[in-house]
Chain A
């Protein structure tokens, strides 16, 4: 479980996150939704320590992540998997080397065990015969799957995904969503996903948090999302004609 308490983040006079608090439960797909520039990515980057918060607390299973040494933070990070928006695969490495990289750095397995684990992870994301290819030789959807395989290679307790569906066609996006949901339930991971894709929210959102201009506005589930009384959230959801029609029908 990840707990965030009143985090604030500003760049100069611009407030990006304002007094943001939330709980992200384990074994559930936790979504942060909001329009572009609402602070979703910054929230995730603060949780990962890629940006320092101005104030507030972040706890990973009751372990403080803010006021700790670089070494202890490094230890917690080894329990985290992350799927970046652009996949962030290492260009100079093959797919096998990319997925093996976290294992190699953690030094917990022998060479043959690492190879087995890589095969398992690639199979888990339904990728075959790609071990010796380079990231540039794969499609966007396949790169996302490799990024997921790399993120789960160390059996993470926490999985973060920043816009996992961006740039993907609806079918591939749905496949990626289902995959993330399955992995979350299968390994009881605390998954936090940033998205502005409402299809994803309705498909996999066990716990949804809506951010608007850096402020927490609403939280709920996929079942309660369309019936919310929050004006900002409704404005965000029903800006799409498809959802407007869906609302009118119901």
Chain B
């Protein structure tokens, strides 16, 4: 499938997801299930990564501040901005692309090759909408919560690292956290998160839904889904940053 064919088929796939919707009561339990499946199950994983990367960010900022004239609170400020602007929304979304993206692509791929999607179609159900729309809604609703959690825990990790190593005392770190805080940065992080959530779910679902063949192709679809999602996240990260922060 070349780039133009894939893009065209992806747009048609999106059209199928958002057309001929089933009744609302059909989606609600599915959305709850997906929140549990792709959202709640990622909490521990995201928390673990965020604490350690937050700590590493703080240590690296301190390592690079070689000038003794620079105030120590700048460590807190730089860590805060790195975590809010880039680490949590982008890096965690990339991590989620690997975790939930591969889950989405492989589960839909398996449903395709075992004819479960055909069974839905024969029953008169719009399979794309029934299977994919709850995943999109769940990710769009829950990923921002994961990212906020990641921001908080990343900062906590940074504070712990700074405090325990003695490179940035608590008071200095807290001052840095509050200094020149721009609330729009949070909005920027949330906008990115929502767009990345849409990309993760739809691209991976597209590759899973259109799997042809058997177990080998399911694996390939999962890999393709994660690779293209990651590429698109990086590209959109640049575009959104250019649009919102320039």
Contact = CB atoms under 8 A, between A and B. Distances in A.
Interface residues of A, number: 26
A75 interface: yes
Interface in A37-88: 45, 48-50, 70-71, 74-75, 77-78, 80, 82, 84-86, 88
Contacts of B110: 91
Nearest to A82: B122
Nearest to B22: A105
Interface in B105-142: 110, 114-116, 118-119, 121-126
Contacts, number: 52
A105 B122 contact: no
A167 to B, nearest CB: 13
B23 interface: yes
Contacts of A70: 20
A90 B111 CA distance: 8
A101 interface: yes
B182 to A, nearest CB: 44
A106 B121 CA distance: 13
A71 B110 CA distance: 27
Interface of A: 45, 48-50, 70-71, 74-75, 77-78, 80, 82, 84-86, 88-91, 101-102, 104-107, 160
The 8 A-B residue pairs with the shortest CB-CB distance, nearest first, are A77-B124, A88-B115, A88-B119, A78-B124, A82-B122, A74-B124, A84-B115, A102-B123
13 contacts: A70-B20, A74-B20, A74-B124, A78-B123, A82-B119, A84-B119, A86-B115, A88-B114, A88-B116, A88-B119, A90-B119, A91-B116, A101-B123
